[in-house]
Structure 1
């Protein structure tokens, strides 16, 4: 049967067999997180040896199993209580096993950012995809047309923010001989933001162009509020609310214009999804879809300071599931230590790593110890005193998971990153 993105659908929406087959992958030198003892073994066989954190080298990035599960369940319950759907942004992790966990917990679909990511999702049988971008590549549109025509259960929706982009999409799909129309959301942006029309009137013109294009179907409206503010100040929150109210106004203008089915209204990163619900959840004539993605790992930096489930009173907060591990390799000055993890290993665009503890030793949280800079392969740890001698391994909190996963093709999952001797209980494969 033909699917639309707004339809409720049934089942997990991913090929569980293909995800399970990742346990058969042979481990080797390609996976920098793993020691030579793992080479030649499958993921399944290596995990059967019950490796511990101490068996892995540095630099390293790990996931905490309990925190991941907590975050997935917490967000699923929050969305269910709010009466909104969730299509988490898969580009945060690019990990099919984590997508499956989100879908199994009730997510409506998976959001992605570009065509290569969509191809990864289709390789693992993801059946409902929201592309938070405009797809204009003729070869990519021809491939998409083939996917839609070859799989009547595949639901896909893309964005458009100009009449010219609509024309180019329609032209390429006609040339490809597309059978099923591609669902399109009109994207509304904001001053200083990223893509998206800058006014309701302009967006209405784009919608009219979509309605005229035989290869496209108008499916609703969408946008991203996170590009318009960067903190939880009163001014930032007011800016986000103002944008969301304009998005509602656009939906109202287009009400009834969709060719068939329930319209979609989508917004919501991981910083302001509470405001999205407050402003959009009252829409009874549309399916409201959040696209939050970073929540699954949370962090000890940017999202710790801005997430609704941290700043929101009475809510069960997310927990950081990502930790870096780095070894002190040099103490060239009394108050300077060099660690063996740098920009190639840990994120740095939304804050530097946070020293938390010495493995098997002292806590660093609350001390003067801090990372002042990252080079490609080194971190500059300052003011740790005698707590971080040469050879010591430090646990680091990280900021911004969206630029963490892409640095690792395989991430070890620990049973408890706070344990004295954490055990490796899983390996998460990523595809960037």
Structure 2
């Protein structure tokens, strides 16, 4: 559920800002006007400054429709990871499409979700910061309708939550980890011991089990698939034992990043009907041209595109663009060259490095690309694209001819 405009504004979430100098790449001619007003005028992308990150609305909506249908066919729920976009408007679209809830990674992100009116939240982390734990307890007391569960993986994490003051119980999911993984109790027996600690803590309410399989591999080689399946089989075994031992109200079993949700669905399928099986995939709403295109089990459409301008061609085989580390992600892969803004192919052109404000492209000397030309880039890993932009232009047909801006998405980073 999205908050009303008044409620959002009262918590400093201005989802329809007055455009200004804080909004990178918005031209000064549009400053001083509401984003919604400008969006209604459908300005061409060419009127905006470069570099410019845009979201193709139709592509994003199609991705959401595809995964929600896929999950529904398998009896699965979706609580997409909101940290991918940190964009309340995009969260609202997920909930409107039928997603069960929104996942976040930190108490602060949960606070943003609450400011946006989200009332079903998975906090996919151990909450050991006393400030965050105290807020969580107070928020549950103040809003009985709120459903919020966080992770525990040790007696110490249980103790932090158990020490909070409040009347409403704090829902927790016991996290299973594995050797070399991230957080999570190491092994089923260790996780069951944490479960016993939760049950003995009056402030807490056991809701189920959780895990993250993405720590165990990110390619589709047979040995990686086997390793991920093995981890998920352990998670399913933990869930079975917990459900056999405890009579839980509306139990939850959750896993699933954006690479392995197909294996999550297969390995956790026997639990559908016994528990609410929730996928937390988040990157699909935007997708990308590199990492998730290579690893995601469904053929989503990349919805993010960067428009960047040639600022120099100092050598025949070298081009510099005006988009750099401050504008595009590089933590997993460098961006890829797609085409020019007027649709020309650029055979052999590739990004080889990013500086703070430049992309270095090598290309054959005979390929025509001049200073002032605009190049379209595809990105890898949308999570680290959104956090470089406080306002993202939404367009129709980002990679077609003469795309127009039809909206703006505000991020909260």
What is the TM-score normalised by the length of structure 2? 0.96
Give the gaps of 5 or more residues in structure 1. Answer: 1-12, 310-316
User: Aligned pair in 2 of structure 1 residues 180, 258: CA closer, same or farther (>3 Å)?
Assistant: farther
Larger deviation, residues 247-256 vs 264-273: 247-256
Query: What is the alpha-carbon distance in structure 1 between the residues aligned to residue 30 and residue 247 of structure 2?
Result: 55
The answer on whether the counterparts of 1:23 and 1:44 sit within 8 Å (CA) in structure 2 is no
Residue among 323, 333, 341 paired with 2:305:
323
Shift of residue 281, structure 1, vs aligned partner:
1.7
Residue among 395, 404, 408 paired with 1:427:
408
Which residues in structure 2 correspond to 1:292-331 (within 5 Å)? 292-309=281-298, 317-331=299-313
* Residue 176 of structure 2: aligned partner: 188
What is the TM-score normalised by the length of structure 1? 0.92
The answer on whether the counterparts of 2:108 and 2:132 sit within 8 Å (CA) in structure 1 is no
* Residue 134 of structure 1: aligned partner: 126
The answer to whether the aligner puts 1:61 opposite 2:35 as a matched pair is no
Q: SS in structure 1 opposite 2:212? A: coil
Query: What is the alpha-carbon distance in structure 2 between the residues aligned to residue 422 and residue 69 of structure 1?
Result: 17
The answer on whether the counterparts of 1:335 and 1:382 sit within 8 Å (CA) in structure 2 is yes
* Residue 381 of structure 1: aligned partner: 361
The answer on whether the counterparts of 1:350 and 1:399 sit within 8 Å (CA) in structure 2 is yes
* Residue 193 of structure 2: aligned partner: 205
| Number of matched pairs | 407
Which residues in structure 2 correspond to 1:228-267 (within 5 Å)? 228-258=216-246, 260-267=248-255
Listed one character per residue, the Cα deviations across residues 380-425 of structure 1 (whole Å, up to 9, x for unaligned) are 0001533221111100011110110000000001111122100000
Shift of residue 318, structure 1, vs aligned partner:
0.7
Which residues in structure 2 correspond to 1:384-399 (within 5 Å)? 384-385=364-365, 386-399=367-380
The answer on whether the counterparts of 2:133 and 2:160 sit within 8 Å (CA) in structure 1 is no
The answer on whether the counterparts of 2:51 and 2:322 sit within 8 Å (CA) in structure 1 is yes
Query: What is the alpha-carbon distance in structure 2 between the residues aligned to residue 96 and residue 19 of structure 1?
Result: 10
Aligned-residue CA RMSD (Å): 1.4
* Residue 145 of structure 1: aligned partner: 137
Query: What is the alpha-carbon distance in structure 2 between the residues aligned to residue 22 and residue 418 of structure 1?
Result: 29
The answer on whether the counterparts of 2:176 and 2:191 sit within 8 Å (CA) in structure 1 is yes
The answer to whether the aligner puts 1:360 opposite 2:348 as a matched pair is no
Shift of residue 19, structure 1, vs aligned partner:
7.0
Give the gaps of 5 or more residues in structure 2. Answer: none
The answer on whether the counterparts of 1:358 and 1:387 sit within 8 Å (CA) in structure 2 is no
Listed one character per residue, the Cα deviations across residues 182-232 of structure 1 (whole Å, up to 9, x for unaligned) are 101000011111100111111011000000111101110001001110101
Query: What is the alpha-carbon distance in structure 2 between the residues aligned to residue 19 and residue 70 of structure 1?
Result: 27
Q: SS in structure 1 opposite 2:293? A: helix
Listed one character per residue, the Cα deviations across residues 79-123 of structure 1 (whole Å, up to 9, x for unaligned) are 111110000000000001000110000000000000111110011
* Residue 84 of structure 1: aligned partner: 76
Query: What is the alpha-carbon distance in structure 1 between the residues aligned to residue 246 and residue 23 of structure 2?
Result: 47
* Residue 106 of structure 1: aligned partner: 98
* Residue 288 of structure 1: aligned partner: 277
Residue among 305, 310, 317 paired with 1:335:
317
